[in-house]
Amino acid sequence: MNWPDLIILPIVLPLMTGALLVLVERKSARLPGWLAAASSLAGLVVALLLLERALTGNVQAYLLGNWAAPFGIALALDRLSALMVLLTSVIACITLLYASGGDAQRGRHFYSLLQFQLMGLNGAFLTADLFNLFVFFEVLLIASYGLLLHGAGAARLKASIHYVSFNLAGSALFLIAASLLYGLTGTLNLADLAQRVPLVTPDRTLLVQSAALLLVVVFSVKAALLPLYFWLPATYSAASAPVAALFAIMTKVGVYAILRVTTLIFGETGGPAAFVTSPWLEFLALGTLLLGAVGAVAAKSLRVMIGNVVVASAGTLLLAVALGRPDTVSAGLFYLVNSTLVAAALFLLADCLRASRGSADDDFRSAGTSDVGHVAYAGNSHTLLGVLFFTFAVGAAGLPPMAGFLGKTMLLQAAGQTVWAGWIVAVLLTSSLLMMIAFAQSGSALFWKPAASSADGLATDAIPPASPTDRSSIPALPCHAAHPASLALLLALLVACAVFAGPLSRFTQATSAQLFERQAYIGAVLGASAVPAAIDVRREMRERKKRAIGETKP
């Protein structure tokens, strides 16, 4: 595939589909679902084609509107972008499959909001312009506000107010940081910034440093770094299951953005802003990891616990990024793929589990006798859910044989050569132990305590609808064929991650090596030449003007 416009397709395709879905939604009940599925599958194919293109090792730039790089907005595709776009597409397809089991019909515009969210995510991963990154952040946030509220309910509204105002304040800081960098360097293109930030005069060192740190703070809001993550468990546990699964990729946007700016702009060659995040980011990432694990142990319901597991995995990723060495970044990227899939799987599983427990919901208490009537997954399927939970828990806590273990081991190996070695080993192992305890606690509370009441062998297909409970959260939907199918897909992907760990880790090594080769990225973005247009309007206008002047002169 040599079609140059392919790079913009992950942004344009969801945008067009989303707009079309708004029109179609009222006309037909079934069409929107199929349309969204077709678009997401097409997005998956595009992501695979982009990955194939990125595997060549060349960074490819795409000039929007045919404007040369520092003046117009450029998109850039390297291995990291391709990996993130592919991961987004995979999660989107699985989310869509799960949502087709009934969750999509609980409110309006689910499919179109999902498409707009995809557009924002893909755009943020592909853009090579700081202000454009802000715009795509806003696109994905606006869609996420809508998705979070999907299905409404008091709990979601309460979480929404915190989430929206927190992110609005974050956006304000993003604008301050971006415009400050523009005021200091006169450019917003990431590649151009990488060249110009080192040239800032020494009397402005403090200004550059504060702009850089403000930028990292904003990304940390999304990535859930220590003092800024308290919104996350409440928000993710309030969202409906497919939305929460999709949000698993949202924390990764923050991690991606931090990785991009710290390797490209504020890295070794950052001049006055070189290694500006050190040692704060390392320290805070360790704190995030530890507190996330403690939060997981302390949680009283499954979804809050998973939210805290997401925080802990974000801490691990940020630690890998903060250490800023090719081997730590490679280990972090390997862990990123696994932790995203496992978080999505856990959120979906929690929803299936809630459906089987009636009013006990996902709280860590045994389902009371009055709930036996609601047991939808009696007998064998309850055991099946338990086995799935165990597998995902092993993956999330980082135990062998799942890929999470390999990611953590690689990180430990790589971190052993840094000055933080002792701290990292201690915190990483302690947090893994804490998460193991949390999963063991919750697993025994959820699966073993109600076993006595649900062992009477109710037929699985005779599922009574889950009755609305008095809790503020919305009851889960009864089991649908799409639910186990999406869980099976995620399980297959996780197993594939572990089985094909060799090729995957070689890929992440190549990815991180490419990230530290800054000149390739800078050269590709700034060196991209505009496509010669079939009709050059500007030259035609110039010639017409000349002719007009020539006619009036004599």
Partner 1 sequence: MTALLVSIALGVLASSGIYLMLRPRTFDVVLGLTLLSYAVNLFIFFMGRLKVNAAAIVDGQGAATLARYADPLPQALVLTAIVISFAMTAVLLVIALRARAETGSDHVDGTDITVNQKPPQ
Rounded distance between C-alpha atoms, residue 124 and residue 131, angstroms: 10
Residues 6+ apart with CB under 8 A from 384: 377
Q: Shortest gap between Cβ of 514 and partner 1 (angstroms)?
A: 30
**Closer residue to partner 1, CB minimum distance, 138 or 517:** 138
- Least Å distance, CB 2 to partner 1, is 33
8 A C-beta contact, residue 97 and residue 252: no
C-beta closer to partner 1: residue 68 or 172: 172
In the region spanning residues 35 to 94, those forming contacts with partner 1, defined by CB under 8 A, are none
Q: HSE, CB side, 13 Å, CA atoms: give it for residue 499.
A: 6
Measured from the CB atom, is 38 or 172 closer to partner 1? 172
> Contact 193/187 with Cβ under 8 angstroms?
yes
d(CA 135, CA 510) in angstroms, rounded, equals 29
Minimal distance, residue 135 CB to partner 1, in Å: 7
Beta carbon of residue 370, minimum distance to partner 1 (angstroms, whole number): 26
Q: Would you say 135 or 274 has its CB closer to partner 1? A: 135
**Binding marks (x or -) toward partner 1, 182..211, rule CB under 8 A?**
xx----x-----------------------
Compute φ and ψ for 126, nearest 5 degrees.
Answer: -100, -25
Between 132 and 505, name the residue whose CB sits nearer to partner 1. Answer: 132
Q: Give the separation between CA 132 and CA 139, rounded to whole angstroms.
A: 10
- Structural contact between residues 248 and 494, judged by C-beta atoms closer than 8 angstroms: no
Residue for token pair 């800024």: 228
Number of residues that bind partner 1 (CB under 8 A): 28
**x/- track of binding to partner 1 for residues 120-159 (CB under 8 A):** -----------x---x--x---x--x---x--xxx--xx-
Name which of 179 and 460 has its Cβ closer to partner 1. Answer: 179
CB 14 within 8 A of CB 116: yes
Q: What is the per-residue binding string for partner 1 in 157-186, x denoting contact by CB under 8 A?
A: xx-xxx-xx--xx-xx--xx-xxx-xx---
| CA geometry: angle 392, 250, 91, nearest 5 deg | 55
**Smallest distance from the beta carbon of 349 to partner 1, in angstroms?**
28
Q: How far is the CB of 3 from partner 1 (least distance, A)?
A: 30
Spell 372-389 as b/e; 16+ CB within 10 A means b. Answer: eebbbbbeebbeebbebb
Which residue carries 């929007």 as its tokens? 64
Q: Residue 416, interface with partner 1 (CB under 8 A)?
A: no
Given the complex with partner 1, which of 137 and 377 has the nearer CB atom? Answer: 137
Of 167 and 509, CB closest to partner 1: 167
Gap between the Cα atoms of 187 and 512, Å rounded: 26
C-alpha distance from residue 549 to each of 172, 447, 536, 538, 541 (Å) = 50, 86, 20, 17, 12
Nearer to partner 1, 134 or 447 (CB): 134
List, in sequence order, the alpha helices (H) in 365-402. 380-397
Q: Least distance to partner 1 from the beta carbon of 542, Å?
A: 13
DSSP state of 108: S
Minimum separation from the CB atom of position 402 to partner 1 (A): 38
Residue 19 or 157 with smaller CB distance to partner 1: 157
| CB-CB neighbours of 368 under 10 Å | 13
We find the least distance from the C-beta atom of residue 278 to partner 1, in angstroms, to be 27
Among residues 393 and 526, whose Cβ is nearest to partner 1?
526
Q: Which amino acid is at 492?
A: A
Three-class SS of residue 362? coil
In whole angstroms, what is the distance from residue 60 CA to residue 36 CA?
28
Q: Coil, strand, or helix at residue 301?
A: strand
Residue 105 CA, chain-centre distance (Å), reads 24
Minimum separation from the CB atom of position 192 to partner 1 (A): 13
Query: Between residue 263 and residue 282, which ones bind partner 1 under the rule CB under 8 A?
Result: none
Tokens of 347: 């959120």
Provide the minimum distance between the beta carbon of 179 and partner 1 in the complex, in angstroms, as a whole number: 4
CB 13 within 8 A of CB 46: yes
Interacting residues with partner 1 (CB under 8 A) = 131, 135, 138, 142, 145, 149, 152-154, 157-158, 160-162, 164-165, 168-169, 171-172, 175-176, 178-180, 182-183, 188
